[in-house]
Amino acid sequence: MLSNTAVADGGKRKSLHGHWSSKMAFILAVTGSAVGLGNVWKFPYVAGENGGGAFVLVYLACVILIGLPVMMSEILLGRRGRRNPVATMALLGEEEGSSRQWRWLGVLGVVAGILILSYYSVIAGWTLYYIVQSAGGAFQNATAADVGAVFDNFVGSWQAVLLCHTLFMALTVFVVARGVERGLEQAVRFMVPALLTLMVVLLGYAITSGSFAEGLAFMFTPDFSKLTWDSVLAAMGQAFFTLSIGMGAIMAYGAYLPEETSITGASGAVVTADTSIAILAGLVIFPLVFANGLNPGEGPGLVFQTLPLALGQMPAGAFFSTLFFVLLSFAAWTSALGLMEPAVAWLVEHHERTRAQAAVIIGGLIWFLGIGSVLSFNALSDFTFLNGTIFDNVDFLTSNVMLPLGGLIIAVFAGWIMCRNSSADELGGAGSLYKLWRVLTRYVAPVGILFVLLKAVGLLPDLS
């Protein structure tokens, strides 16, 4: 007891043991939402489309300079408000002497979650199909052409893609309706380490593929002449997407965080885990792309056309391939729950629906909107406007516009509206780490986001 009091004054050691499990539970929940298709599917294909090296560097800079401080801000706002994002922002806006209108950030998040899940579920449906194909041995000793044919045949059939999208949405609605996310979050405990292990095994294969050096060079040799403001925007959008930030989802998780938990430590752990998995995915995929004469700018099918190749060559390939796509589906599933939660919570709280009703209504709406993305890969693949297909546009609007905009609002609120005492209180005092966070949140993140957004839409002229 005596030593407890003594330590309590000097640091956080006091509750080290008692709170370990809740801190861990929080990290697992946030990691479960962050690690998903964004790491394994989206990162490699967007990096490939944007020329590799320079893009990866900008992405890493965005993760550290913008993503990390915004994630910390989201968690601290959530913990201070201790309500759903809409109510939290209204309350804090009032409390900090501003306005309740900050709640519109919550509304932006609800809409972003619905739109993201509408196409996320379609791609997650692809992973379900790949479980079945893997188990049936379709990739056993297959050539790049075989694997490509499986992909083209599947994605070319809107009926098959729609069926898988429907199945994945049903799985998501089922879990959300029953409110058993906690059970699923426990799955993250083994899923993330297992996914990581399997990726390391695949890395071993990629190293022996004969084109590892080429893959490495593609990912890490920056060629800034290839970098456009559009690809900088894509890198920033990817940072927001992969970390699940900018839409209040992490704010909602933060609402249940114990007072003693270090927000800085937890954010650091999540960002490290998420970034490692994305980089690992790139290190596996690009060597395979070059070893098999494929095109790194292939697009959304990239992962589905490369990984089955490697998995099919491994001993017990059908088993490992099945395991891999099961793990990836799980990762997508835990993310999907997070994407749907803001809308469901909002419907339950503001429109007096039961959780099950809300899940079915929102799930149905998302399923319907998803049909646009289903058809983007087949029947409507030629129907393009602005950024491309319907899928391309929904993706662009959410990742590259809505999430950065949400992040901007969060950073401005945490850095400028909230008084110094409040944020220092949440971040454990005004030490040097706090000062660093404050500079990043007040200046680097908002200015960076605004600059990239305006540059990419051509509202700021080039100097030369």
Residue ranges binding ligand TRP (CB under 6 A): 33-34, 36-39, 116, 241-242, 244, 247, 249, 335, 338-339
Task: State whether residue 12 is helix, strand or coil.
Answer: coil
Q: Given the complex with ligand TRP, which of 158 and 241 has the nearer CB atom?
A: 241
Q: Given the complex with ligand TRP, which of 46 and 291 has the nearer CB atom?
A: 46
Max CA distance (Å), the chain: 73
We find the least distance from the C-beta atom of residue 32 to ligand TRP, in angstroms, to be 8
We find the least distance from the C-beta atom of residue 403 to ligand TRP, in angstroms, to be 7
Tell me the residue nearest to ligand TRP as measured from the CB: 38
We find the least distance from the C-beta atom of residue 381 to ligand TRP, in angstroms, to be 24
374: tokens are 């289903």
We find the least distance from the C-beta atom of residue 241 to ligand TRP, in angstroms, to be 5
We find the least distance from the C-beta atom of residue 177 to ligand TRP, in angstroms, to be 18
Q: Given the complex with ligand TRP, which of 26 and 212 has the nearer CB atom?
A: 26
C-alpha pair distances (Å), 3 with each of 11, 12, 125, 186: 12, 13, 55, 34
d(CA 372, CA 124): 15
We find the least distance from the C-beta atom of residue 183 to ligand TRP, in angstroms, to be 17
Q: Given the complex with ligand TRP, which of 306 and 334 has the nearer CB atom?
A: 334
Of 301, 367, 26, 365, which is closest to residue 168 (Cα–Cα)? 367
**Which residues, listed in sequence order, are joined to residue 309 by a DSSP beta bridge?**
none
Q: Cβ atoms within 10 A of the Cβ of 346, count?
A: 22
We find the least distance from the C-beta atom of residue 206 to ligand TRP, in angstroms, to be 21
Q: Given the complex with ligand TRP, which of 30 and 92 has the nearer CB atom?
A: 30
Q: What would the DSSP string read from start to end of 373-440?
A: HHHTTTTTTT--BTTBSHHHHHHIIIIIIIHHHHHHHHHHIIIIIS-HHHHHHHTTSSSHHHHHHHHI
We find the least distance from the C-beta atom of residue 333 to ligand TRP, in angstroms, to be 10
We find the least distance from the C-beta atom of residue 37 to ligand TRP, in angstroms, to be 4
We find the least distance from the C-beta atom of residue 398 to ligand TRP, in angstroms, to be 8
**In sequence order, which residues have a C-beta less than 8 Å from that of residue 215 and are 6 or more positions away?**
206, 282, 283, 285, 286, 287, 288, 289, 290
Q: Given the complex with ligand TRP, which of 48 and 338 has the nearer CB atom?
A: 338
**Which residues, listed in sequence order, are joined to residue 388 by a DSSP beta bridge?**
385
Q: Given the complex with ligand TRP, which of 96 and 341 has the nearer CB atom?
A: 341
We find the least distance from the C-beta atom of residue 3 to ligand TRP, in angstroms, to be 41
Contact 299, 104 (CB under 8 A): no
Could you give the count of Cα atoms lying within 13 Å of 60 in the half-sphere of its Cβ? 13
Q: Given the complex with ligand TRP, which of 294 and 328 has the nearer CB atom?
A: 328
Burial 240-255 (b: 16+ CB within 10 A, else e): bbbbbbbbbbbbbbbb
Q: Given the complex with ligand TRP, which of 110 and 247 has the nearer CB atom?
A: 247
Q: Given the complex with ligand TRP, which of 72 and 339 has the nearer CB atom?
A: 339
C-alpha pair distances (Å), 256 with each of 99, 168, 222, 409, 434: 24, 28, 41, 22, 22
**In sequence order, which residues have a C-beta less than 8 Å from that of residue 70 and are 6 or more positions away?**
240, 245, 246, 407, 410, 411, 441, 445
Q: Given the complex with ligand TRP, which of 34 and 362 has the nearer CB atom?
A: 34
Contact 167, 350 (CB under 8 A): no
Please classify residue 271 by burial: count the beta carbons closer than 10 Å to its beta carbon, then call 0-12 exposed, 13-18 middle and 19+ buried: buried
